[in-house]
Amino acid sequence: MPEVQHRQIDFFDKVRFIIQSLPKRKDYKLSEEGADYSTANGKARGFETCFLCWRSVPRTKQEKKTPLCYVHDMMSTSKEYRRRKNMRQRMMEILTELEAEIPTPAQVRQENKFHPRDFYLGQIRRLNGYFPAMAEYMHELHPRIESEDDLIRALEHPIPFDKLTDAEKAAWEFHFGDFGAYFELNYERMLLAEAWLRAEAEYKHGGKR
């Protein structure tokens, strides 16, 4: 990409994270009148993030229920749901720490002269890097993470493809391809996964509750 486009991307990247740091209005929700869930592209663009982890959740137009992935699709009255909801509070604390610690794609490009894609892929392979919990999880799940596509698929594991419709499978494939081609877009998801995995480890070993 021409350098002028990199500068534009870096500018909007910074604006995005400034906006993200501002107080959130809980009563605000984007209108779905123009949302298109009829195509693979449209379905994938409408994916949300699971309330109890970092995985993506397919949804339909005007769906109101709390987004829960295939792993955590459970009743809100269940013991495990309540446990992870409590864990979420600790996860958010860790996430705030990571946002202050781990460089954004714009910072990586400016300060390290690396392409963010290569920087983050390298970090995820290192147990002593910025994402130690994620590196350990990925190694146990899929020791041979060699490409952006491998990582995206591992992050979303497990997905019951044998139970999905052709349209749903196509949406997932678009999702993998989109985030694989523009790997910098995974920055927030990588931080979220690292935060959840660290929180899970603390709860597993009797840490904060």
| pLDDT per position as a tens digit, 85-113 | 999 999 999 999 999 999 988 888 888 77
Scan for tokens 């982890």, then name that residue: 53
Say whether pLDDT at 119 is over 70.
yes
Residue-number span of the structural domain to which 118 is assigned = 86-204
80 inside domain: no
For residue 37, give the nearest of 59, 18, 17 by alpha carbon.
59
The pLDDT of residue 139: 86
Total domains in the chain come to: 1
209 inside domain: no
56 inside domain: no
38 inside domain: no
pLDDT tens track for 43-54? 888 889 999 999
Mean pLDDT in residue range 151-169 = 90
pLDDT tens track for 172-208? 998 888 877 777 778 889 999 999 999 999 988 665 4
Say whether pLDDT at 30 is over 70.
no
Give the 3-state secondary structure of residue 35. coil
For residue 119, give the nearest of 69, 193, 47, 183 by alpha carbon.
183
33 inside domain: no
Answer whether 121's CB lies under 8 Å from 149's CB. no
**Token pair belonging to 188:** 């927030």
pTM above 0.85, yes or no: no
